[in-house]
Amino acid sequence: MRFKRLKVKNIRSYNDLEIDFNDGVTVVSGVNGSGKSSLLEACFVGLFGHRGIPKDFVLADLVRKGCEDAAIHLEFEHMGQEYAAIQEFRNNPETGKASTTRSYLEIDGEVVVNQATQTYESIRNLLRMDEEAYKNCVYIRQGDIDVLINARKKDRQRMIDDLLQIGRLEEYRERAKSARTGVGRHITETHARIKDQQEEIETIDATKPVARKNQLNTDLKQLQQEVANLETMRDRTSTRIEKDRQHIEQYTKTQKQIDELDRGISGLETRKKEALTSLESKRKEADRLQKSILEIENKIQELYDYFGLDETTDVDNFTALTEKEERDAYEKISRVKTKQGLKLQEKENSQKVLTETKQNLRALEEAIEKRSTQEKNRLKEIEEINKEYSVLEGEIGKLLERAQSMGFDQKKLDNLEELEDLLLNKQRHLHGKEQEVRTRIDQISKTLTEHRNLLEKGACPTCGQDLQGSTIANDTKEEEVQKKELKEQLEKLIQDTQRAEEKIATLKEADKIKKQVDEKRQKQLLIKQKQENMSSYNEELKKQNQEDEKKKQELTEKIEELEKHIKGAEDEIKEIQQTVNTATEHHAKMKDKLENAKYLIKIRHDHTQMQSDQQHLKAGIADIQENMRFIDEQIAEKKKNKKQLEKELGKENIEELEKKLHDFRQAYEKIIGDIEEKNNQKTSLLKEIGQIETNLKRKKALQEKLKTFNNREKYLKAVKSDVESLEDMYMRLRADLRTRNIDALDRLLNEIFSFMYTNNAYSHIQLDTDYELTIYEKDGTPLEPKLLSGGERAIFNLVLRCAIYRLLSEGLAGGEYRNEMPPLIMDEPTVFLDRGHVHQLLKLIDLMRDMGVGQILIVSHDETLIDSADNVFEVQKDPTTNISSIIAQ
């Protein structure tokens, strides 16, 4: 498998990106947070969809902030065909929820599946691994490098079995086991059903259904005849009841008509009394209205005399002229008051400005005085700061002299970290060498003791041969010489280690001096900055005081002008007030005249309205008199109709009629009850007959089912035997394949391990049947991988991953899957590696490349990895837009 091209839209920090992948080692570099790992994550999600999202994240975290649409388009080559996996997403920035809108797979440009689950299954079948196996084998995420070693025993077995395709056999065995259990459950269930069928058939036969059905049919015919006789009696009784009911209904209807006529007559007589009362009231109202009309006519004449008018005068026109005169007088007052108000406002504004100006003048004087005081204080503080700066300069000089006496000039002080790294590496190397020499001395001492014991005896305890002059004697001399050399070498290593430790202690002391110098220089910088700020501030104070002195003179002149203006305004206000008083007196006279004119118009209108009301009252009195004549005619007509209805009613006895109707109804209800009782008996018989017929049909069906269940039981027993054989086959095949894979994986693991750890303290790795890993030192001491140092553990994990990768690529069936494995992907593999282990990582990468791994993708900012890469991409992020871009180097 080869990655060819990746296109992303609105993924993480990428807006719109397209990148081409080449064969060989590709390193993606860039500063932290620039978006390097997001490229690998996009490839992973491009293959496996939302299942590739880390467990601590949701799909919305993949979409660039604020965007609604996102997409990943990954093109790759596999088994000679061109593929493209496309994942498209929709995001709601407000709710923070996202979903996959489209997921499809293309082969040679043609869409073959277009549904998320189908796309996932197709990719999983192509790669022969799901997303978990992919992460455990080819995609080493940052922080997950030691997941296989740190996993629990059972989880590690499952992970490696899944990677080596053995997990499916266990899955198939579990399915076979489930099938066997299910078939057994079906056999038990079928046997129980057979027993139930037999018992139910026996229960039906015990009731003798055929004889009971014949007896019930005879009883049913007799009941049907009895019901027919009762229904005839019911119909005759119903006809008589209806005839009596209609007779009583007609009597009741006539009586109701008589009652309604009585109520109508009573109502008309009440209306006649109300009409008489209303007539009297309207006559009194007419008399009162006549008196009011005479009073208003007298008031109108008085107003005519007041104004000097007569009946020919147009009162409305006169009132309009008066209203205009009143309005003109009011407007004159308004104009004068407006002028007075403006002048008052002008005086008030000037007074307000005067007050504010005086306040500003006082504030300005206070500010000038305050700044002068501040200027003097700043000068004193600057003198103190200069003294503090000089003291720090002397202290820095003493510290540098002390460092110089220790052999550290300024250049060496700046490179202390690099010197310390070199010394620490040397110390670790010497310590490791020292332990190796001690181990070798112990081994030689042990051998020497054994040989000396033999030589003291003089002969071999087994064969009795003399040992003097033998190889044992010669070896003993050589070993003594070798032990002496090793002790000298050990003594020299101890001295070198002590010297390294002394240098490290000196370095630490120099580092303390450097930190003190840096700290004091930082204080000097702050003091210098403070001095400059205070000098600059004093200059600003002087400049501000000069400007404020000019403003002070301007404010004094402005106060004098405002006081003169306010005096002139007060004189004008007094003159305007006299004019206001004269205009107010004239307006009051005109207002009184206008009110009398409007009152004249009102009472003239009231006089006209009263005359109209008087005409309406006369018409109303005539209407009431006509209505009373009509009511008398209606009363006479209703009394005549009542007499006619009483004659038609005659002397009919309604109580006797109702008693007969009651008796017939009781008889009718008894007949209905008898019919209902017979029908219930008939229903019971039919129900029992139906139940018997159902039982007979049930018996026939049970006999057919019994035959079917007997055949099914025989079939299920045969299936259970086959499934047990299949389960046993999967178990044996899985055990055989695991043994073969463990042997192959152990071989590949030790080949890579030997290549990586040449001339090291470790001899080999052992992989047991449960995938438990043990590292053996040169002396045979076993060691758990978890006890390795951080860098060694990381390298060991990479070795394990690469061994699994090689085993998968070679395959157990002749290597047909070789060169079709996905690219090997590493995200920040040097996080826990020192310089020496980084070189081991480079050796491992070269080894995998030499073994035929077509593509290796690495995210790292380590310069050593970048220099050794075939292809390098640098990721950069725009600080203003937070959008990442890629530059090929």
Tell me, what's the pLDDT at 472? 61
Residue with tokens 């209805």: 645
For residue 166, the tally of other CB atoms under 10 A from its CB is: 21
According to the annotation, is 281 in a ligand binding site? Answer: no
- Lowest mean pLDDT of 82-91, 428-437, 581-590, 704-713, name the range: 428-437
Kindly state whether residue 75 falls inside one of the protein's structural domains: yes
- Lowest mean pLDDT of 144-148, 238-242, 299-303, name the range: 144-148
Angle at 459 between CA 455 and CA 464, to 5 degrees: 160
For range 128-153, the mean pLDDT: 75
The answer to whether residues 63 and 14 touch, using CB atoms and an 8 Å cutoff, is no
What one-letter code names the amino acid at 302? E
Angle at 35 between CA 29 and CA 39, to 5 degrees: 85
DSSP-based three-state secondary structure for 170: helix
Kindly state whether residue 578 falls inside one of the protein's structural domains: yes
pLDDT over 80 (residue 172): no
pLDDT over 50 (residue 464): no
- The backbone torsions φ and ψ at residue 112, rounded to the nearest 5 degrees and listed phi first, read -105, -35
In whole angstroms, give the CA distance from residue 794 to residue 771.
Answer: 18
Per-position b or e across 827-841, b if 16+ CB within 10 A of its CB: bbbbebbeeebbebb
DSSP-based three-state secondary structure for 108: coil
For residue 573, the tally of other CB atoms under 10 A from its CB is: 16
According to the annotation, is 122 in a ligand binding site? Answer: no
For range 390-413, the mean pLDDT: 78
How many domains, the chain?
2
- For residue 29, give the DSSP letter: E
For range 52-57, the mean pLDDT: 81
According to the annotation, is 394 in a ligand binding site? Answer: no
Three-state SS sequence of 666-706: HHHHHHHHHHHHHHHHHHHHHHHHHHHHHHHHHHHHHHHHH
Q: How far is CA 386 from CA 383, 521, 745, in A?
A: 5, 14, 74
In whole angstroms, give the CA distance from residue 587 to residue 2.
Answer: 106
- The backbone torsions φ and ψ at residue 249, rounded to the nearest 5 degrees and listed phi first, read -65, -40
According to the annotation, is 787 in a ligand binding site? Answer: yes
Tell me, what's the pLDDT at 457? 67
Q: Which of 597, 619, 649 is at the close of a domain?
A: 649
- Lowest mean pLDDT of 43-47, 95-99, 660-664, 699-703, name the range: 660-664
- The backbone torsions φ and ψ at residue 17, rounded to the nearest 5 degrees and listed phi first, read -135, 145
Nearest by Cα to 482 from 441, 431, 435, 438: 441
Tell me, what's the pLDDT at 499? 82
In whole angstroms, give the CA distance from residue 573 to residue 176.
Answer: 115
pTM over 0.85: no
Kindly state whether residue 227 falls inside one of the protein's structural domains: no
Tell me, what's the pLDDT at 7? 95
Tell me, what's the pLDDT at 819? 58
Residue 8: beta bridge partners?
17, 72
According to the annotation, is 568 in a ligand binding site? Answer: no
The answer to whether residues 86 and 104 touch, using CB atoms and an 8 Å cutoff, is yes
According to the annotation, is 33 in a ligand binding site? Answer: yes
According to the annotation, is 463 in a ligand binding site? Answer: yes
According to the annotation, is 815 in a ligand binding site? Answer: no
Kindly state whether residue 298 falls inside one of the protein's structural domains: no
Spatial CB neighbours of 367, under 8 Å, sequence gap ≥ 6: 544, 548
Q: Which of 649, 678, 703 is at the close of a domain?
A: 649
- Tell me the range of 67-71, 264-268, 589-593 where mean pLDDT is highest: 67-71
Two tokens, residue 846: 């070269």
According to the annotation, is 502 in a ligand binding site? Answer: no
**Containing domain of residue 553, as a range?**
410-649
Residue-by-residue DSSP string for 291-343: HHHHHHHHHHHHHHHHHT--TTS-HHHHHHHHHHHHHHHHHHHHHHHHHHHHH
- Lowest mean pLDDT of 349-358, 463-472, 525-534, 657-666, name the range: 463-472
DSSP-based three-state secondary structure for 785: helix
CATH number at residue 874: 3.40.50.300
pLDDT averaged over the chain? Answer: 81
pLDDT band at 473 (very low <50, low <70, confident <90, very high): low
pLDDT over 90 (residue 647): no
In whole angstroms, give the CA distance from residue 74 to residue 19.
Answer: 10
According to the annotation, is 35 in a ligand binding site? Answer: yes
The answer to whether residues 158 and 167 touch, using CB atoms and an 8 Å cutoff, is yes
Tell me, what's the pLDDT at 72? 96
For range 725-744, the mean pLDDT: 77
Tell me, what's the pLDDT at 832? 65
Mind listing the pLDDT tens digit for each residue in 840-889? 788 888 888 877 788 899 998 888 888 889 999 999 998 888 899 998 88
- Lowest mean pLDDT of 152-161, 482-491, 695-704, name the range: 152-161
Nearest by Cα to 131 from 43, 19, 18, 22: 43
Residue 110: beta bridge partners?
107
- Lowest mean pLDDT of 57-66, 93-102, 839-848, name the range: 839-848
Nearest by Cα to 129 from 158, 85, 164: 164
According to the annotation, is 620 in a ligand binding site? Answer: no
Kindly state whether residue 633 falls inside one of the protein's structural domains: yes
pLDDT band at 346 (very low <50, low <70, confident <90, very high): confident
Distance of CA 889 to the CA centre of its chain: 40
Kindly state whether residue 573 falls inside one of the protein's structural domains: yes
pLDDT over 80 (residue 47): yes
- For residue 786, give the DSSP letter: G
For range 505-520, the mean pLDDT: 81
pLDDT over 80 (residue 311): no
For range 84-109, the mean pLDDT: 91
Mind listing the pLDDT tens digit for each residue in 218-275? 887 888 787 888 788 888 878 877 877 777 777 777 778 778 878 888 888 888 888 8
pLDDT band at 818 (very low <50, low <70, confident <90, very high): low
According to the annotation, is 792 in a ligand binding site? Answer: yes
Q: Which of 605, 623, 649 is at the close of a domain?
A: 649
In whole angstroms, give the CA distance from residue 193 to residue 199.
Answer: 10
According to the annotation, is 721 in a ligand binding site? Answer: no
According to the annotation, is 24 in a ligand binding site? Answer: no
Kindly state whether residue 461 falls inside one of the protein's structural domains: yes
Kindly state whether residue 865 falls inside one of the protein's structural domains: yes
For residue 402, the tally of other CB atoms under 10 A from its CB is: 15
Residue with tokens 């017939």: 664
In whole angstroms, give the CA distance from residue 549 to residue 863.
Answer: 66
Tell me, what's the pLDDT at 167? 64
For range 306-330, the mean pLDDT: 80
Sign of CA pseudo-dihedral 415, 420, 426, 429: negative
According to the annotation, is 136 in a ligand binding site? Answer: no
